[in-house]
Amino acid sequence: MRRGLMRERAAKFRSLVIAPVLALAVTTCMWGVANAREFSDNAIRGGYGCLTTGLIFEIEGQLYQLVFDGKGKITSGDKLVNFAGEVCIAPVDPAGSSYTVNPDGTGTLTVKLGTATASDGDEAGLCADFSGASEHYAIVVESGGKRVDLSGLDPFFTGGGFTGGSDPGDFFQSGACNRQVGG
């Protein structure tokens, strides 16, 4: 009789505790799979305002306005760089600018610059280096595409005045782009 009572209690335990816990675990896993979002190039489209700063040269900052087409291309934009008070402005060259977004939300961004102009006369040498250069970033898309985090790749700069030498494109840049909302 004692064995029968133990089997009965074990059966009640399985039906009252184990079955609901298992059902909850399966439901939670299914909910997570159903809500997992896969990203693509379409996660980034429209205008974004970006700010990046140098990690070693804290005297440098960059502002961008970039327009993404949702298909891997940057259609227009501008860059302003301020290096210790020396300011250059360069248009983005759409022909050499692109991005990719992987299914997990990571990706890459390349921004090719057109001819940079100086805000006054003493930045000509600095601006010449940026003219025709490309910048290379690793990216992470966040908040449903409202924000894109940036971190410079190695080499960060290629082309323009950043050619020659052993590794001339080593610059440390990081920052973020936020989707612009008209007002």
Whether the CB-CB separation of 62 and 173 falls below 8 Å is answered with: yes
When the candidates are 3.40.640.10, 3.40.50.2300, 2.40.128.120, 2.40.420.20, the CATH number that belongs to 41-179 is 2.40.128.120
Residue ranges per structural domain of the chain: 1-36, 41-179
Least confident among 101-105, 108-112, 171-175: 171-175
Residues 6+ apart with CB under 8 A from 134: 96, 110, 111, 112, 113, 157, 158, 159, 160
User: What's the pTM?
Assistant: 0.75
Of 2-16, 67-81, 122-136, 149-163, which one has max mean pLDDT?
67-81
Average pLDDT over residues 149-154: 89
Q: Is the pLDDT of residue 5 over 60?
A: no
Q: Which of the pair, 89 or 124, is modelled with greater confidence?
A: 89
Q: Which of the pair, 1 or 46, is modelled with greater confidence?
A: 46
Question: Residue 53: which of 123, 149, 117 has the closest Cα?
Answer: 149
